[in-house]
Amino acid sequence: MAAHTRYVLALLAVWSALVCLAYAGQDFRGQIQPNAELGHVMNLGPNTKVLLRAIPAQKPAEAGIPSSDQLPAADDDQTDLAAFGHRRDRSTLVAVDGSFIFRNVEEGAYTLQIVSRTHIFEKYRVDIVDPELAKAPQIRIFTPGTSLVSILSSNLIFHPLILHAVKRVDYYTEAAPLTLGSLIGMGGPMMILGLVAMGMVFILPKLTASLDPEAQKELADSQARMQKRLAAVQSGDVSSLLYKDDHVQKSQAREAAANNARAQRNTGPSK
């Protein structure tokens, strides 16, 4: 009788183990390894997370692929995406050696993302198949912005997943060296005008000294005429800019005579 009881208990234990294995999910493992961007796994720093977010299942008609390749359809209570994600999403921390593991992951599709403050990693789509098929999880690279269904045709990646850092996050930028171009860029048009004025002050006298005497005399005469016209404009005679020098001289003489006449009227006749 005792032997029969032990035999029944052993059968019950085996049956319960088989039931647990049938309803249990698969374990998903990964390992972060150093490369040129990540010199050592310790450089990741603490609290580096791995997020495993569930993807709601789609009907074969919506996905456009045979139903045999699709995951089971979602239940009615899975229409609420927030509740679905809260129930199926998983997260874990990366160990000191760069490894991580998700135990008993339910059958379905997931996106895997490494959340690090120092480095950027690729994103992946992970499909956990039926445990009865005894197949490893199907892993594919997921590019943000592409369809989660279209990447099913891409090449598979072996499990356990080996990850490498794609880029190092740089929060600081080196200051640009101080050059003549940077000075002009910082000063803008005012800096350019100042440089042109300084060039005229230093270069124009040297150019004038290199001219022959006749050219120097013509340059001096033109400067004198320009000064006269500027003086006429300042006195209110804008028309002097449109006429020749003789007309300017006549207008200046008339203006001087008119000024003298007004001065005599104001002071009265001389005795």
- Domain locations in the chain as residue ranges: 24-168, 184-264
By the 8 A CB rule, do 98 and 41 touch?
A: yes
Peptide bond into 160 cis (omega under 30): yes
Across 154-181, average pLDDT? 84
DSSP category for residue 89? -
pLDDT greater than 60 at residue 37:
yes
Across 144-159, average pLDDT? 80
Predicted confidence at residue 14, as pLDDT, reads 46
CB atoms within 10 A of CB 96: 9
- The yes/no answer on whether domain 24-168 falls in CATH 2.60.40.10 is yes
Taking the whole predicted model, whether its pTM rises above 0.85 is answered as no
Across 18-40, average pLDDT? 76
DSSP category for residue 157? B
Q: What tens digit of pLDDT does each residue of 83-92 get?
A: 666 678 899 9
Predicted confidence at residue 61, as pLDDT, reads 44
Predicted confidence at residue 110, as pLDDT, reads 92
CA 127, 130, 131 angle in degrees (round to 5)? 110
